[in-house]
C-alpha cells in the first residue's frame, strides 16, 4: 500500500487503522504496488487481493478467513460445447472448413 493511487485513496491512515484494529495476531506490513490502481486502496490478505479496502471490510475478510482468491465458476465441457466451444475445431476436423483457412 505505498503507490500513488493507494496513497491518494487513504492507504497511510488505513495502514495505521489496521495495525490497531487487527492487533498482534495479524501481521500488517507495508507492501509494494499490487496493480489495482483503479480499485485503490488494495490490501493483500494471504494470497487474495482485497479491493476498495476499509478497515471494516479488511477486518471482516480476515475474520472470514478470506486468504485465497475465489475461483470463477467455469462452465463444464458439455456446457462449453453447447455454447459453441470447439466449433472451429469441429468444422476443421469434419472437412467443412478447409485447413488453409
Average pLDDT, stretch 71-92? 93
The dihedral sign for the CA sequence 82, 87, 89, 90: positive
Is residue 45 within 8 A of residue 63, CB to CB? The reply is no
C-alpha cell, 75: 462452465
The interaxial angle of helices 55-64 and 11-22, nearest 10 deg, is 40
Q: What is the pLDDT of residue 24?
A: 87
Q: What is the pLDDT of residue 1?
A: 45
Q: How does residue 98 score in pLDDT terms, banded at 50, 70 and 90?
A: confident
Q: What is the pLDDT of residue 2?
A: 54
Percent share of the chain, pLDDT over 70: 98
Supply angle C-alpha 89, 76, 79, rounded to 5: 65
Q: What is the pLDDT of residue 71?
A: 86
What phi-psi label fits residue 65: left (phi over 0), alpha (psi between -120 and 50 degrees) or beta? left
Instruction: Report pLDDT digits (tens) over 25-68.
Output: 899 998 889 899 999 999 999 999 999 999 999 999 999 999 89
Amino acid at each position: 500500500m505505498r503507490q500513488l493511487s493507494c496513497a491518494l485513496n487513504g492507504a497511510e491512515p488505513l495502514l495505521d487503522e489496521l495495525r490497531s484494529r487487527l492487533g498482534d495476531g495479524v501481521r500488517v506490513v507495508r507492501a509494494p504496488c499490487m496493480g489495482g490502481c483503479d480499485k485503490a486502496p488494495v490490501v493483500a490478505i494471504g494470497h487474495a487481493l482485497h479491493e476498495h479496502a476499509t478497515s471494516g471490510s479488511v477486518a471482516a475478510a480476515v475474520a472470514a478467513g478470506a486468504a485465497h482468491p475465489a475461483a470463477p465458476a467455469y462452465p463444464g465441457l458439455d456446457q462449453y460445447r453447447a455454447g459453441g466451444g470447439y466449433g472451429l475445431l469441429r468444422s476443421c476436423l469434419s472437412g467443412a472448413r478447409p485447413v488453409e483457412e
